[in-house]
Amino acid sequence: MINVVKHTATSVVTIERFIIEEERNHPEATGELSGVLYDLALAAKMIANKVRSAGLADILGATENENVQGETQQKLDILANEIIVKAMDHGGRLCAMASEEEPGIIQIPEPFKCGKYCLLFDPLDGSSNIDVNVPVGTIFSVVRKITRGRQGELEDMLQPGRRQVAAGYVIYGSSTMLVYTTGQGVHGFTLDPSIGEFLLSHPNIRIPDSGRYLSVNDSYEQLWDDNVKRVMRTFRGIDTPRKALNTRYVGSLVADFHRNLLGGGIFAYPANAKSTRGKLRLLYEANPLAFIVEQAGGAASDGVNRILDVTPTELHQRTPLYIGSASEVELVGKTLAAPAQTLVPA
Ligand code: AFP
């Protein structure tokens, strides 16, 4: 059962209050990580605002990408990237950032102070869905700086996911929700647009141990190897006494992940003959969601390894991803460990 907080008119728990209270459990905390989370919450509100009016901006915008104010319109994912960079670069808490939208590390500009954390993010995941009004999301991951200089370096970014100190996502759906973990459970906050605050709505989220949903893009089936085909047939209840999972695939990772986190199940983006390392990014998508799902009692793997144990070698590294209820992810591991099969030629 989903644990949902009911607020009264006079008593609410804002994300700020929640973070402060969580920080009190750590007498050694300097408040810097809390600051990173507040700044991200502000960026999320700004992006939510842009996403909400995306259709309107298109209608009101003049031709050639200019809107009615004469400003050049930007693609929303580029805009979301800029919003996050500008919300985060001056607080003195980060030493560098990396975004799915940018090829290299984003340094903290002078004269701003550098801090001890690195932020990695996907500013607007699933952005090809915006035109058809499907939920999209922002995903973020925070790691501690491990190099000595002022600025963050590639080495700081390429840390295995188990070293994350915080991770979260924002879903811009029928309501806007921010879900995060700092390693003390997973907590969800819903944006109350009337007061512009994220309010605690889903404390201590736990993913059901076995699944309800299967989220996978079946159109790649002919490109999967036989073991992947086999486990997907099992999930669909074919040639097995097992009850079939309900197939639900939005094609927007945050939306698919969020539904399965609350309802149980598995999201899979396997490697296939054309994308032999899958499609999703280890640092911006798989790692933060893996930290969250483990904190909620679930699991995440690339089919062989626990996602959080993979040591990244590149900033934009891709990975196969199986993530969700622990028993479903375990079944994938067992099935894929069967003798190797050759991929079907593309
Ligand atoms: P877009 O940002 O191009 O829409 O991609 C979304 C995404 O990265 C992730 O959110 C989805 O789960 C996945 O790709 C969908 O990919 P397929 O269209 O290949 O199923």
Secondary structure (DSSP) of 210-244: S-SEEE--GGGGGGS-HHHHHHHHHHTTTTSSSPP
Could you tell me which residues come within 8 angstroms of residue 194 by beta carbon, excluding any fewer than 6 positions away?
none
pTM of the model: 0.92
| Average pLDDT of the residues in 42-53 | 93
Q: Distance between CA 322 and CA 340 in Å, rounded?
A: 18
CA 227 from chain centre, in angstroms, equals 27
Choosing from 77, 170, 279, 289 the residue with most ligand 1 atoms within 8 A of its CB, the one to mutate for a pocket test is 279
**In this predicted structure, which of 2-11, 30-39, 267-276, 333-342 has the lowest mean pLDDT?**
2-11
Structure tokens at 149: 């200089």
Cα separations in angstroms, 125 against 237, 312, 324: 30, 20, 18
Whether 215 is in the pocket of ligand 1, judged by its Cβ within 6 Å, is: no
Q: What is the pLDDT of residues 252-282, one digit of tens each?
A: 999 999 999 999 999 999 999 999 999 999 9
Q: What pLDDT does residue 346 have?
A: 45
Secondary structure (DSSP) of 169-184: EEEESSSEEEEEESSS
Q: What is the pLDDT of residues 195-253, one digit of tens each?
A: 999 999 999 999 999 889 999 999 999 999 999 999 999 999 998 999 999 999 999 99
In sequence order, the β-bridge partners of residue 181 are 167, 186
Q: Distance between CA 152 and CA 155 in Å, rounded?
A: 8
**In this predicted structure, which of 9-18, 131-140, 335-344 has the lowest mean pLDDT?**
335-344
Q: What is the pLDDT of residues 122-142, one digit of tens each?
A: 999 988 888 788 999 999 999
Q: What is the pLDDT of residues 155-194, one digit of tens each?
A: 999 999 999 999 999 999 999 999 999 999 999 999 999 9
Whether 305 is in the pocket of ligand 1, judged by its Cβ within 6 Å, is: no
Q: What is the pLDDT of residues 54-100, one digit of tens each?
A: 776 665 444 455 544 455 556 888 999 999 999 999 999 999 999 99
